[in-house]
Structure 1
Amino acid sequence: MAPITRSSLHGRPVDDQPRQARDSHSQHDDYEQEDESMADDYGEVEEEDDNDEVGDSRSPYRSSAQDMLRPLQATADRVAKQVEEFAQVMDQFVSTRKSDDETLWNDALLLLGAYNGICTNRRVRTSTSDPDVQIQKIQLEADLWLLVRGILSITSPEVKTRTRIAQESRLGDLTRYSTNSILWEAFLDSDGVSQDYECILDWLQEREASTGIPMDDVVRILNAKSNRGEGIWSAGPVYTQAAVKKQKRTRVSTTPLVPSLSGLAGSHTRRDGERLVAQLDPDAQSREDAVLELEDAFHEQAAWRTYWEMLRRGQTPDQIQAWWAERRENWRYAELCGSAYTSSKMQNSPWLRIMSIASNPDWLERCEELSQDTQLDEYQRAVYGMISGNVSSSEPVNQTIDDHLFAIFNALLIERYQTYLQAYHTKLTSSGSTIYHPQAPSKTYLQRFFAEAVSGEEVRQPYKYLELAIVTKNFSGFLLDMGRAAAHVAHQGGLGSHLIHDDDTEADELAQIGVRDPDTVRFVAHLQLVLQSLGMLKSAFSANEYEMENNIASYIAWLEAEGKFSLIPVYVAKLSQARGEHVLASILVNISNHQERELQLKLIKQYKLDISAIAYGVFTLANYDSIQRLRSVEGPPTAPRITEPPAAGKPGQVTIKRNLMGGEPSEEEEKAIRSVEWYRYVDAERWGSAAWSVSLLYKAFLYEGRFAALRQLLIRVSLSEISLSAVGMNLVFSDIEEPPPEEAALEGDDTDEERLLSVSPIRKRKPSSQDHILTRAGNDRATLALKSRIWKELEELVAIIDGLDGFQEIVDDLDENRANPTYVRGMKRELRSALDLVKERIQALFDPDFLRQPQDEMEGVLLHDLRNHYIPDCILAYNSTLYFAGHALSRAYLVDCMDLAQMVATNPMLTAAFVESGRMKELVQAFALDSQALLRANEQGGMKAKRTKADQGNSEIWNVAWREQGNNADLEALD
């Protein structure tokens, strides 16, 4: 259908085409092609289904199962196709234009036409075996898009300008010789509200004509009771006519019967005793206070019911005239306007009954009186009420919301036309103003109807509540109610609760029903985006932006539930920046598939979304609880020690706990690790956010002793890999430039615990002239490395623990296979490799500034506690590693134990960690055992160890044999 504009004289198009065909032929060329392709796609799906049926016919069980599932799958495919098509055409709509740009409005009307085309295609492809309720729902959605399109076409700046010009000129151009049609056109041109009313009436008429019950079916029962035969309409009240003739024959009279004739009242009666009319003119019943024969009464009821249906469906006067002429009751056509004569131009307008008010006001008054006459048939009164604009006379016959709306808007349009005619006559008689000032819209009828309708059952059907909002143009109030209901329903049922904050505001009951229907949610989301782009929701968004955007978030939640992840960024881009980042982050945090991540990244770039801010949002959402726990820590870490002391009463070194970092991370930990993997996509400007987040996650895991998660974090989020991917540099190999002392002092003075843990460093800056380290400008290697320092050191600490754990796994394996010399001898190579890895990683621990250069005061407290908890264990475990290697590989490692003691003694950071943690005694005992072992090894130099008995296995490999090499101090193990 072409963009709906004021239909003026002609109203609804008169043709015999089905509604779907008429709409699709008049779409914009581009959208016509899209619709055809959509239809082709549906055809292909159905063809495949047919082929499946043939192939499955050999198996009755398989065929039966597929026969049951195929309709459900076909429906799901149609819904999925429709969802994708909506996203596609919406994505093509450029909304970033001024709201008064006429091209924006034209494109918006084309977009609404495309939405109608998509729904129409779905309706065409919907199987007739689907439930009638579903078919009606699909059709109503298609019709509603046309209604919105029609209303917005009248609201466009261009039409408003034309209306304003008409208000200043059209009334002055009218003369006493102006015809009814000219007056009607001038009225509509000058009154934008009446244009809305006419558009809504036209839509209601067309909907009833295309989807209503056929008129023959409506009056079939009444026709049967009229006893005239199937499909036969005899002219007039034939049974009453027969009774009148009988009386005339009895009285041998050739003149018309007079109701006052003697004896007539007693003999001229109906079977039930009611007095029959003596004459057969149309008003005889009311004039004589008599009745027709029952068959004629049913015929009369059917006739008025048919008449009402004709007007309700917007049939033109020539159609109505032809109908009654065929049935030899032309007088009924005269009821339409008080006259059987009309011009050919007016003959084709369904608004003839209103136009005639200008030239026949007396007939309007007479119809008003008849519409209130309770002695008349209710449909007869409804017809007169429709002609005169009496709402109450139609109420008894209105069966649907659409019927009530038609009666209301019909009355409102007639009322406004009468007001215009008054201005017209005033201008003619007293040289009044030639500028027409339309009256404000009347809301009395609609408010009363709304109060009654919201308690009914029909309004609870999908789209009906939406229809009421559209016809009253209460877009802002309706969308706000839907947004609040979306929050309420999301936190009741769970769908979308992670995208929408809970709202304590009471939610409208009907809005909650709508929010639970996916099709309504989709309609509301796309309607809001169109209205928002046209600037029609500015005040609503200004006061309630979050609630309004809930409608988009609710639809995104449905897309997520349906697995339509590729469509989500299209709608996220329509949200405000902060809300969009939050919504997308809430979804991405649950995506683990690599291909899906890459697709989302591509779409994020395509829609120019801020990947850095989204990545930070993913992190905060996934780790909110951990951040809060870390923020409220009081005291040392709750993590257990990574080492185990020797058996009670037996001297020996500590050992790393068995399977310390083994196992799988919990679901919560896995989600947390996935959240920081997104930082591989940030840019150098936001690198500080990545460094802050990953280091915070390390601290949280270390504080709570989540060692399996720490190993995964170390493997999957290494600084070298992430930095190379994000900023193109491996920041592990960088020289960190320290800030000048005065800058460091400023940083220490201005940091704030609340800011660090609750707000991203890239989001909030300190009110200081010197930025925080993480927000410092500069994309050079040194600056980026400085931001990554804590991340690097925490990663090194976890790598040390991981190396020690790996060494301990080999030791435990050797211990379990001690009786197998061949296996043990082969494992010594792996043991030496594991030891080399530990020695390489442990070097970071000997840096006096290791974990001693926090970026703020709170981080200093956390790092202090982590040093005192983990460094003593790492040193003791490393010493134990050397101690074991000194016995299993070479006593040279026992010498390394002595070197380790010297390094601890001369390193203030290491010494302080043992002293403050109260573990100096353990360290002294460990080094004492080292000295004792080295002394024993020297005493046994040159001596051969005794062999054990065969049944005890070969323990020779656990003894160290030494050989002298002159003055050479190097010692190496003998195999």
Structure 2
Amino acid sequence: MATSTRREKITEEVTPGPEVEDFANALDDYLLRGLAAPEKKARLLDLPRRYHENAIRRLAQIQPKVVRHAADDVDTDMDAEVDAVAVAKVDKQHPKDGLSESSDEIRQLEKEVQTWDLFRRLLPLRYSGSGPEPMRFSSPLPGSRKSIQDDVHDFLETNSVALERRAVLQWLQTTAAAGPDIDEVARELQQNADRGDIIAHGWLHTRTKIKLRKSVTAWPRLLDRQSPNEISSHVNSDGAPLVTQLDPDASMRQGRKLEPQDDYFERAIWLGCFEHLRRGSKFEDIREWCRERTEMWRAISMSAMPMSVEEWHDGPKTDADAASLALWRRMCFSLARQGGSDDFERAVYGILSGDITTVENVAKSWDDFLFANYNALLRSQIDTFMLSKCPPDVVSTLLQSLPAFDAVEFHGDDNDVQKRIIQTIGSHPQVRTEASEPNKALQASFIARELDRHLYEQGLVITAAANEFSTSRLVRKGLEEDENTIVSKYKYFDLAQHSGLRIVAHVFVLVSLLDRFERQESDSLEPQIPASWRFFQENILAAYTDYLRRAKLRELIPLYCSVFNTPRRYEALSWNVIEQSDLDVRGEQLGLIRRAGIDDSRFVESQATLFFGELDNNPKLAVNNASFRILEPGPPSSRGQRRMKNDFFGAEEDKVDPKDINMIRALEWLLMVEKSWPQVFSIGIQVYKLFLRNGRLSAARRLYRRVAFTRIMQHMTGHDDPEITLYEDVEFWTLQLQDSGLGNVKPEQAMSDARNYMELEALVKALDTLETIASPDLTNKQFWQRVGEEITTATDNMQPLLKNWLLPGIENGDHELKQLRDAYLPETILAYISALHFAGTGISRDHLLECMDLASVIAERNSDLSGTFVDAGRMKELVEALTACSKTLAIKTEEKRGATVIGGRKLRELGWSRDLWAVKK
């Protein structure tokens, strides 16, 4: 795959199929609130069936020519199995359209059907819980005895190991039945038999040759009674000795051959018998297949216990007793190992006797090898059970005189037997490549009880892919030792394989939730796997939530995030929804978050904490009194003020670091939850501090515009314009906390946080206005009018800074506020004086009078401003700036622009005039 295409599949927007929402809807049904724990677990265990049926329907839609059984009804397990067989056969029955993409999609869907079929069979057995033992009923008739059929059925239902092996065999049989028709499989052998469409009447060519021999030699009796010299010339068309009789075991008994055409015919029939057993066909179907070929004896020889799919529900359909079944198995084993003229004949008896070697000799796929081993294990278990029902003398005779292969003894009877079988098959040269295919590797890990390790390694592969082009904060890297773990990535789904990601994500969801149920039932809080494994397993689901985001299915994300353990659930949810800026959509998502059972208050608080930790903070670049400058260097002149720097916030107004934008959005999310307003203040203060400390004024401006103090108050009180005087009233805050049901926040702390937030915002608003004045649009015809408006705004915004700005917080021991006051306040006041000076020369001398008023405020005995300038060593600059204003006022004789300044008349009424500031030489 080209790098650009791969990048697009991993990072760009994608178009999802309907199955994505279908899977989510099925999961959502499980997560419905109000359900009792047993009901929730039952629904969870039913999810694989629903996913299985969904995959069947999608496969049927791609292959519309499939003749489906029971119309479109896939509501029952049996219907689903039948449909799985039907839809998969079409791949062989109908030619492909030549498009590799369509063919790949069909093959992947077939594998998905198989995967969910396996999980729907095994999960209920693996997570059955510790319920009561099944009730057993005795016969109502005195002296009546249970049949061997009932005994075997009870054994399979009560032995957990046999039950699981039966489920795996049933899955393998159903999967095999989805292959091409048996007649199609045997077609080549049938054609080589040179008998046209005739499938009955046995060995036609050999029979004809025997009749011809008798006719030529005029021999009325059996040919084997001819003299040795005469019989030596009785050969087939290849020159090999030809059989003289037509009974089924003639070739093996006489050591002679059939005609080559009949040999093909014989192999075709045994191949068909093998396929029927391998696919778990009903015995009635096997019998009918043999009857059509006039080979009923073959069906009879398989009739004792063929173990068809239906037989799993009803037990073996036989009236034989335990001793007879045990003897029959040993006869089949003898035929498998010592008899038979063909590999498929030996494999048929190998299946019936539970042999491994003879069945593996004809195995072609990974499934075939697994079938050989699991069939042998289960039949060995049943045989042991049969012998337990036999008298001791019968058991002794059978064991001494007639051997049988014991797969349980061969493989061992410990808990790792499945793992060893899977490893052995996976290393077989014939199927090594198939075993490494991601779907098959997932199935194998589940059967081997190695699913936790498989999901861990799958998570490693997903993590590496997610961080291939850029560092992912959602699918995060783990410890270095985990990243260095060597895995064969070809065994796992890649991040670009969206269907595979969906499958493995839902497998993780299933086992994660079921493990949670088991821990609850056992009152155990300890995780069953290492923390690092869990971390990478969760990365699979994190990657899937990112896929949902790129697919514009954000409404599904809270559902899947609810599966994570905390705090990962809040982290994954945060990264996925943070980019959403629409308030209405945010409100809808908060509703979905609550519906998914996620605490919205903890979510928004965790989100804000998460993104605050992501902010860049370099102490070496901290702003201080010496570094923060927005005025051009040099003293002011009598004819002009010190100029402010243009665009001191930044050349591009909207250029804000994405990390800072995310933090501001997190505060917006925090504000949307009713009881989280105290955290908006407390966390917002920390954000303001960091932005200002690092000189990120554009980010601070964005914060006050998006999360303004007045907006917070409106959200808290429900009033559009609450009185400002209430903010300093402890009773007001007590009442607000009571109304919000917040008993864990002190009113004094809430009041202090609100005050600090408002005052930090006031600084940013003042600086924002000053920057606007410093960066005029000289082409605007209403230039001076705009300056006048901004000066008025600046005056309003400066008022909080001119009296006790941040001092209450500083007195409470907040040293960071002290640093910000020292760094920003002197320069901001000097810039404000410069702005008034500029407006006084260009608009009205009343602005100069405002400078004089400011000078009087600073000079007051109880003023906190003069000390700040003294501590900063900038009193000289202050005096020079005010002196320059007074000189300008002294020489300014008339108003300009016809402007009227709000507050100017009041200043004059208070006694201010330009004569007061006249400087005499």
Shorter-chain TM band: 0.7 to 0.9
Is the 8 Å Cα contact of residues 882 and 896 (structure 1) preserved in structure 2?
yes
| 1:158 to 1:903, Cα distance in 2 relative to 1, 3 A | closer
2:855 alignment partner in structure 1 = 901
**Are positions 1:704 and 2:694 aligned together?**
yes
1:189 alignment partner in structure 2 = 157
* Structure 1: 5+ residue stretches without partners: 1-71, 431-436, 740-761, 763-774, 818-822, 946-953
**Are positions 1:675 and 2:666 aligned together?**
yes
**Are positions 1:258 and 2:224 aligned together?**
yes
1:717 alignment partner in structure 2 = 707
2:546 alignment partner in structure 1 = 557
- 1:175 deviates by 9.6
**Are positions 1:87 and 2:75 aligned together?**
no
- 1:801 deviates by 1.1
Work out the CA distance in 2 between the residues paired with 1:500 and 1:726: 36
2:797 alignment partner in structure 1 = 841
| 1:791 to 1:968, Cα distance in 2 relative to 1, 3 A | closer
Is the 8 Å Cα contact of residues 640 and 837 (structure 2) preserved in structure 1?
no
Letter paired with 2:646? R
Work out the CA distance in 1 between the residues paired with 2:144 and 2:231: 51
Work out the CA distance in 2 between the residues paired with 1:874 and 1:391: 88
- 1:324 deviates by 1.7
Letter paired with 1:929? A
- 1:798 deviates by 0.9
Work out which of the residue numbers 843, 863, 870 in structure 1 matches 2:817.
863
Work out which of the residue numbers 744, 752, 756 in structure 2 matches 1:786.
752
Work out which of the residue numbers 174, 178, 188 in structure 2 matches 1:206.
174
Work out the CA distance in 2 between the residues paired with 1:372 and 1:388: 10
Secondary structure (helix, strand or coil) at the match of 1:247 reads helix
TM-score normalized with structure 1 length: 0.74
1:807 alignment partner in structure 2 = 773
Letter paired with 2:474? H
Letter paired with 1:894? L
- 1:877 deviates by 1.4
Is the 8 Å Cα contact of residues 206 and 313 (structure 1) preserved in structure 2?
yes
Letter paired with 1:388? S
1:60 alignment partner in structure 2 = none
Letter paired with 2:642? V
Is the 8 Å Cα contact of residues 176 and 428 (structure 1) preserved in structure 2?
no
Is the 8 Å Cα contact of residues 897 and 930 (structure 1) preserved in structure 2?
yes
- 1:275 deviates by 2.3
Work out the CA distance in 1 between the residues paired with 2:805 and 2:200: 109
1:107 alignment partner in structure 2 = 43
Letter paired with 1:552? L
| Aligned pairs (5 A) from 1:629-708 | 629=618, 636=624, 640-645=628-633, 652-661=640-649, 663-668=653-658, 669-684=660-675, 686-708=676-698
| 1:413 to 1:558, Cα distance in 2 relative to 1, 3 A | same
* Structure 2: 5+ residue stretches without partners: 1-8, 65-96, 396-407, 520-525, 731-736, 916-921
1:118 alignment partner in structure 2 = 54
Work out the CA distance in 2 between the residues paired with 1:258 and 1:326: 30
| 1:626 to 1:206, Cα distance in 2 relative to 1, 3 A | closer
2:503 alignment partner in structure 1 = 523
Work out the CA distance in 1 between the residues paired with 2:441 and 2:600: 39
- 1:896 deviates by 3.3
Query: Could you list the per-position Cα deviations for residues 857-876 of structure 1 after superposition, in whole angstroms to 9, with x for gaps in the alignment?
Result: 6x51x333322222121111
Work out the CA distance in 2 between the residues paired with 1:966 and 1:734: 29
Is the 8 Å Cα contact of residues 215 and 309 (structure 1) preserved in structure 2?
yes
Work out the CA distance in 1 between the residues paired with 2:23 and 2:631: 60
Work out which of the residue numbers 219, 222, 228 in structure 1 matches 2:195.
228
| Aligned pairs (5 A) from 1:78-477 | 80-94=17-31, 102-127=38-63, 131-154=102-125, 157=128, 161-163=132-134, 179-209=147-177, 211-229=178-196, 231-258=197-224, 261-264=227-230, 266-337=232-303, 351=316, 358-373=323-338, 376-425=341-390, 443-444=416-417, 447-453=420-426, 456-477=432-453
Work out the CA distance in 1 between the residues paired with 2:562 and 2:899: 68
- 1:252 deviates by 3.0
Letter paired with 2:795? K
| Aligned pairs (5 A) from 1:726-741 | 726=716, 728=718, 733=724, 735=726
Is the 8 Å Cα contact of residues 646 and 654 (structure 1) preserved in structure 2?
yes
| 1:358 to 1:138, Cα distance in 2 relative to 1, 3 A | farther
Q: Which moved more, 1:589-598 or 1:565-574?
A: 589-598
Is the 8 Å Cα contact of residues 180 and 358 (structure 1) preserved in structure 2?
no
How large is the Cα RMSD of the aligned pairs? 4.5
Work out the CA distance in 2 between the residues paired with 1:485 and 1:208: 31
Secondary structure (helix, strand or coil) at the match of 1:655 reads coil
| 1:971 to 1:428, Cα distance in 2 relative to 1, 3 A | farther
| 1:612 to 1:362, Cα distance in 2 relative to 1, 3 A | closer
- 1:560 deviates by 1.4
1:886 alignment partner in structure 2 = 840
Work out the CA distance in 2 between the residues paired with 1:188 and 1:664: 70
Work out the CA distance in 2 between the residues paired with 1:131 and 1:790: 63
Work out the CA distance in 2 between the residues paired with 1:890 and 1:462: 79
Work out the CA distance in 2 between the residues paired with 1:295 and 1:737: 106
| Aligned pairs (5 A) from 1:532-571 | 532-535=512-515, 538=519, 543-544=530-531, 545-571=534-560
Is the 8 Å Cα contact of residues 837 and 851 (structure 2) preserved in structure 1?
yes
Q: Which moved more, 1:260-269 or 1:632-641?
A: 632-641
Letter paired with 1:115? Y
1:925 alignment partner in structure 2 = 880
| 1:360 to 1:616, Cα distance in 2 relative to 1, 3 A | closer
Work out the CA distance in 2 between the residues paired with 1:720 and 1:378: 86
Q: Which moved more, 1:567-576 or 1:233-242?
A: 233-242
Work out the CA distance in 2 between the residues paired with 1:527 and 1:97: 24
- 1:855 deviates by 8.8
- 1:291 deviates by 1.7
- 1:853 deviates by 1.6
| 1:799 to 1:143, Cα distance in 2 relative to 1, 3 A | same
Aligned pair count reads 819
- 1:542 deviates by 6.2
Work out the CA distance in 2 between the residues paired with 1:519 and 1:87: 14
Is the 8 Å Cα contact of residues 241 and 257 (structure 2) preserved in structure 1?
yes
Secondary structure (helix, strand or coil) at the match of 1:300 reads helix
Letter paired with 1:280? L
Secondary structure (helix, strand or coil) at the match of 2:55 reads helix
Query: Could you list the per-position Cα deviations for residues 860-909 of structure 1 after superposition, in whole angstroms to 9, with x for gaps in the alignment?
Result: 1x333322222121111122223233333443443433333343344664
**Are positions 1:574 and 2:563 aligned together?**
yes
- 1:442 deviates by 6.8
1:53 alignment partner in structure 2 = none
Work out the CA distance in 2 between the residues paired with 1:733 and 1:214: 84
1:513 alignment partner in structure 2 = 492
Query: Could you list the per-position Cα deviations for residues 273-313 of structure 1 after superposition, in whole angstroms to 9, with x for gaps in the alignment?
Result: 32222333222322332221111111111111111011112
Work out the CA distance in 2 between the residues paired with 1:445 and 1:796: 69
Work out the CA distance in 2 between the residues paired with 1:543 and 1:339: 45
- 1:381 deviates by 1.4
- 1:336 deviates by 1.0
- 1:567 deviates by 0.6
Query: Could you list the per-position Cα deviations for residues 773-810 of structure 1 after superposition, in whole angstroms to 9, with x for gaps in the alignment?
Result: xx993475x65332222211110111111222233345
- 1:205 deviates by 1.9
Work out the CA distance in 2 between the residues paired with 1:521 and 1:711: 41
Query: Could you list the per-position Cα deviations for residues 167-201 of structure 1 after superposition, in whole angstroms to 9, with x for gaps in the alignment?
Result: xx989x99997543233223223322222222222
1:618 alignment partner in structure 2 = 607
Is the 8 Å Cα contact of residues 259 and 278 (structure 1) preserved in structure 2?
no
2:828 alignment partner in structure 1 = 874
Is the 8 Å Cα contact of residues 391 and 408 (structure 1) preserved in structure 2?
yes
- 1:153 deviates by 4.2
